[in-house]
Structure 1
Amino acid sequence: MVYFVAMIANFDADRALRLARDTLQTEADAVSALSGRLNGDFARAVLLILQCTGRVVVSGIGKSGHIGRKVAATLASTGTPAFFVHPAEASHGDLGMVTRDDVLIAFSNSGETGELLSIIPIVKRIGARLISVTGNPDSNLAKLADVHLDAAVEKEACPLNLAPTASTTAALALGDALAVAVLDARGFGEEDFARSHPGGALGRKLLTHVRDVMRTGNAVPEVRENTPLAQALMEITRKGMAMTAVVDPDGHAIGVFTDGDLRRLLETPRDWKTVPIGDVMHRNPHVVNENQLAVEAVQVMEANRINQLLVVDDDGRLTGALHIHDLTRAKVI
């Protein structure tokens, strides 16, 4: 307890801020230096991954292992089948997951990690290709690789120059650069990303269609053009969408009447009950196709400052209706 109090007594806020700024600058410099060292080896590494007919296996131990796990996850989520294998576990059976069709990416700052070096001969014998990411181009791991990527840093951000800090940041940035170059070469787009992230916000936006969230059947308020306004109001009340669609005998959406329209009508003294809805409706209503993305329906609503939309098929026939609350519940917005 006394030791803990002494540690707090030695705290210096100015020094902490100075070290923090130095750390960020050192790591930024390390990443920036990588850019100038990129050469044809990087392009060859990208090509190896693109030509891989199996999976990308990523490995590393210690802090490099943590980086490897993240890089494997990034590759997997951007269109490249990938997984992480711990080198120690690989030596005790997990190496059986590696096939001749795979590419192994090995992370090691020193390039002399014993656990990694012990499995490399087996990986080479299997026939898998090897990409090494090290801070030492003259290391054994770099020399054994089909392609070596130089992730060397001038110094660690740690004041003792011991704890892996700038070196792990550089390795992570290089892994991200690989993933980005590969996804671009694959033509990997937003919809592909959404398919691998169906639980995320982008997934919901890009994979949810209007037909998935719209109201259908008896839940859709619908009247004919000659329906008296009083009956149309009852339809609006029953369906709870604060509006009703107006359709022709063939079911085409030809108009819409909303609660807001009613309030405006009531500003003019008149017996509106028997007036046909067709006389007071909005013709050419805003609509969306049932096959459009739900996010497109949101855009129409926002652009026109409305809370409801009619949904139609390719022939313009009414198939459903959307309220902004439907889109909110579906977490599209």
Structure 2
Amino acid sequence: MSHVTAFPIAQKPAKPSAPRLHAVAAGEGDSRAIAVRSLRLGMSALDEVIGLLEGDLGAAFERAVETIVSVKGRVIVCGIGKSGHVGRKLAATLASTGTHAFFVHPTEASHGDLGMIAPDDVIVALSWSGETVELGDLVSFSRRFSIPLIAITCNADSTLGRAADVLLALPKVRESCPHDLAPTTSSLIQLALGDALAVALVESRGFTSARFKTLHPGGTLAARLKTVRQLMHTGDEVPLVPDDMVMSDVLIEITRRRYGCVGVIDADARLIGIVTDGDLRRHMGPAILDTTVQQVMTAAPVVVEADLLASAALEVMNRKRITAIFVVEDGRPAGILHIHDLLRAGVV
């Protein structure tokens, strides 16, 4: 790793030439068409990044993940302007997915906040041009104290690009702004690469949904991170009948409950079937009242485990088009979950 005490700042180079779009006069053009054009430019840029990830960028990306995982300290994210906004989002995403991270404003760093950075940290610096003057002190500090530096820029030959230990070089893309000036497409691919980095770290660290829940105790996301065990009904609330019961008694049990179904258990208290409103309609006839439940039930019903996420249980219920599902442990019914329970908890 190189060590320098000075950080020469070059003049910001002229933006690479690109075909310009004609500005649309007020009241002219189709706003929807402009929106589609902007999004297509973004999609094209993302496709280009994907292509680069299959080559040199991919190798650098792997080194960036390895570098972050190997350090004992935090990830310090920094940037100015739109790159700074993207950096704040990256720091927040990292912090919420198990990587200790926070954003340091480069200007504030030059006025004392460098003291927030420790030798065991790693710095991720974002600058589209790679010549952002305000990053100078941060980069010099990283070189002086041998703090790993990961750069995200489109200019590999820039001051930032040359100083970095790991260079994530993005392609030079056309902004969707008609003047090719306002950061739009460039911000999109910076953001996408940052999210990809966060996701790769989630998998590298084995970050679980349980840990995710610990860091997200409020809001809709917290509801989706509840487990089936937290929402299911247990004990006497679970509608169960023995496998030798006649349907006249089963109908009373279904009517008495509010789930629209009953579970059928064998002599070992194992769940072997379910009787729903649909089963009743399919077998409706004069003889149904004297029929045993085994002749009417649907065998091997869809079930879930108690420690499954409520959001995952909802997906199963939606896919199977059912409104209630039994919860089992070792094949025995431990509870029942209704779609209304998920609605009340805010999971839906």
Shorter-chain TM-score category? 0.7 to 0.9
Indicate if the aligned counterparts of 2:274 and 2:297 stay in contact, CA closer than 8 A. Answer: yes
Deviation at 1:100, TM superposition (A): 1.0
Instruction: After superposing the two structures, state which structure 1 stretch, 194-203 or 96-105, moved more.
Output: 194-203
Alignment of 1:32-43 (within 5 A): 32=48, 35=52, 38=57, 41-43=60-62
Alignment of 1:1-333 (within 5 A): 10-13=26-29, 17=33, 21=37, 24-25=40-41, 28=44, 32=48, 35=52, 38=57, 41-151=60-170, 153=172, 156-179=175-198, 181-183=200-202, 185-186=204-205, 207-225=225-243, 227=245, 229-248=247-266, 250-263=268-281, 267-268=285-286, 272=289, 275=290, 277-278=292-293, 281-282=296-297, 284-286=299-301, 288=303, 290-291=305-306, 293=308, 294=310, 306-314=322-330, 316-330=331-345
Give the fraction of aligned pairs with identical amino acids, expressed as a percent. 46
Counterpart of 1:244, as a letter, is V
> What is the distance in 1 between the residues matched to 2:184 and 2:208?
32
Q: Which has the higher contact order (CA 8 A, sep 6+)?
A: 2
Counterpart of 1:288, as a letter, is V
Higher gyration radius (CA): 1
Indicate if the aligned counterparts of 2:241 and 2:262 stay in contact, CA closer than 8 A. Answer: yes
TM-score of the two chains, using structure 2 as the length reference = 0.70
- Secondary structure of the 2:335 match is strand
Counterpart of 1:234, as a letter, is I
TM-score of the two chains, using structure 1 as the length reference = 0.72
- Secondary structure of the 1:70 match is helix
Deviation at 1:281, TM superposition (A): 4.5
Counterpart of 2:106, as a letter, is P
Indicate if the aligned counterparts of 2:109 and 2:137 stay in contact, CA closer than 8 A. Answer: no
Which residues of structure 1 form unaligned runs of 5+?
1-7
Indicate if the aligned counterparts of 1:193 and 1:203 stay in contact, CA closer than 8 A. Answer: no
Aligned residues: 322
- Secondary structure of the 2:63 match is helix
CA deviation profile, 1:107-146 (whole Å, cap 9, x unmatched)? 2233333322123333434442112233444443333332
CA change 1:234–1:64 in 2 (3 A) is same
Indicate if the aligned counterparts of 1:137 and 1:143 stay in contact, CA closer than 8 A. Answer: yes
Indicate if the aligned counterparts of 1:98 and 1:123 stay in contact, CA closer than 8 A. Answer: no
> What is the distance in 2 between the residues matched to 1:248 and 1:75?
50
Deviation at 1:324, TM superposition (A): 3.9
Which residue of 2 is the match for residue 5 of structure 1? none
Instruction: After superposing the two structures, state which structure 1 stretch, 246-255 or 14-23, moved more.
Output: 14-23
Indicate if the aligned counterparts of 1:194 and 1:204 stay in contact, CA closer than 8 A. Answer: no
